[in-house]
Structure formats: C-alpha cells, structure tokens
C-alpha cells in the first residue's frame, strides 16, 4: 500500500446513494433485455442447470484515489443445479487507506423475470486486511503557513466477514452474459477496526462453461 502525502479518506457513500445506484443498474438491465431477448432466445435457457464463471469490476461507488493500488474486483464460479446458485470465488475491496481481500463462499436463490436473473445471496469471506494510518504525522507552521506532514504506519492481519448482495444477470449470446452486482459487507479483524462496513457496486461478464 502506498498512500500519498494527502491524508484525506474517501467519503463513504450513504445508504441512499448505494440504493439509488442499485436501482439504476437494475433499470438499465431491464431496458436492455427488451431488445436482447428477441435476438437470443436460446441464451435465456443456457444459464440454467449449469456452471457459470463470472468476473466483476467493483469500483463504481468508491475509488482508492489517494494511493497507487489495484481497484476493487471479484470473481467466482457458480454451480446452478436449479433454482439455487452456490458460488466460490475471490473478492478485493480497496479504499484509500485500506484493503480487504480473500476467498468467498455464497449461496443465493435464482429468481427469473423473462431473460433476467435476479440472484439475492448471502456470503462469507476469509482473508487478509491491510491498513495505513497517519499515526506519527505532525503539524507545522512555517512563515505563517500551516501544514501537516503525514507519516504512515502499516498493519495487516487475518480478516473475516459476511455480506448480503444482489446480482442482476442477463444472458446475451449463447454462453456469454452481462451482470451488475451490489453488496454490503461487515468485516472483523483489527486492521479494519474503524471501518468495518464496505459497500461495493459494479458490473461484469459471465461465461457458461458446461
């Protein structure tokens, strides 16, 4: 982790803003489905009783702007025996001064509305958290100008957490689909003691492999 000399933290979006982002994403998928459903009727059935691989960019609602770091991403393999989806994957949630990442397991119900799949799910994560803190920085006054010199300390430790989320998935052509995702997480572990809640919103692609 390499924060800049700026000590600003990313502003955590309110629950209302996250809800609005989810609604906008779902609405876009619904609009797109009206035209795509007629073009690929076989794709509507191809994502049932199968195995699906997915990957997502999860930085739509917050960016780690104050440091050079990989953004928030996720990926999973989903087994869908019927009306359920059982997933195993990996998740990274990056913020200005902290990162949580690890292996995830989740289970969700597959709800269908035409070609669209709505998959609400419960998830757990086990992994590692990293955090930077301006623990030994100091203020100064020079020539009538005040400022602050940041001195960061770094910590890392095991982290665990649970989350609730919603995936809105749309098959578009044969074995390929698109999806929007949103989830809210609560993490435990000493590095994230002051910032245990993390929300992510993003979009990704899916690929049917069987």
Q: Tell me what pLDDT residue 190 has.
A: 75
Residue range 130-188, pLDDT digits in tens: 887 666 667 777 777 888 776 666 778 888 999 999 999 998 888 899 999 999 999 98
Question: For 15-208, which CATH class?
Answer: mainly beta
Residue range 23-63, pLDDT digits in tens: 555 555 545 544 444 444 555 556 778 899 999 999 888 76
Q: Quote the mean pLDDT of the chain.
A: 78
User: Are 117 and 169 a contacting pair, CB within 8 Å?
Assistant: yes
Residue 13 has pLDDT above 60, yes or no: no
Segments making up each domain of the chain, as ranges: 15-208
Higher pLDDT, 71 or 73: 73
- Over the range 108-117, which residues count as b (16 or more CB within 10 Å of their CB) and which as e? bebeeeebbb
Q: What is the DSSP string of 100-146?
A: EEEEEEEEEE-EEETTEEEEEEEEEEEEEEEEEE--S-EEEEETTEE
Q: Tell me what pLDDT residue 14 has.
A: 46
- What is the distance in angstroms between the CA of the first residue and the CA of the last residue of the chain? 39
Model pTM above 0.85:
no
Average pLDDT over residues 106-116: 92
Cα–Cα distance for residue pair 170/75, rounded to 1 Å: 17
| 10: DSSP letter | P
């Amino acid at each position: 982790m390499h924060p800049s000399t700026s000590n600003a933290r990313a502003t955590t979006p309110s629950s209302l803003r996250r809800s609005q982002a989810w609604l906008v994403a779902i609405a876009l998928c619904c609009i797109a489905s009206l035209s795509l459903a007629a073009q690929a009727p076989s794709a509507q059935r191809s994502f049932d009783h199968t195995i699906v691989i997915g990957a997502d960019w999860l930085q739509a609602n917050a960016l780690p702007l104050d440091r050079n770091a990989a953004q928030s991403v996720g990926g999973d393999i989903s087994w869908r025996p019927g009306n359920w989806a059982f997933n195993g994957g990996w998740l990274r949630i990056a913020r200005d001064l902290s990162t949580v990442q690890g292996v995830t397991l989740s289970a969700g119900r597959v709800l269908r509305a035409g070609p669209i799949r709505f998959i609400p799910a419960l998830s757990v994560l086990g992994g590692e958290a990293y955090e930077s803190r301006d623990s030994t920085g100091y203020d100064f006054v020079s020539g009538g100008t005040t400022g602050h010199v940041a001195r960061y300390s770094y910590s890392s430790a095991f982290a665990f957490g649970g989350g609730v989320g919603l995936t809105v998935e749309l098959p578009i052509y044969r074995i390929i689909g698109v999806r929007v995702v949103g989830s809210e997480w609560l993490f435990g572990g000493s590095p994230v003691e002051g910032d245990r809640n993390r929300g992510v919103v993003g979009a990704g692609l899916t690929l049917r492999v069987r």
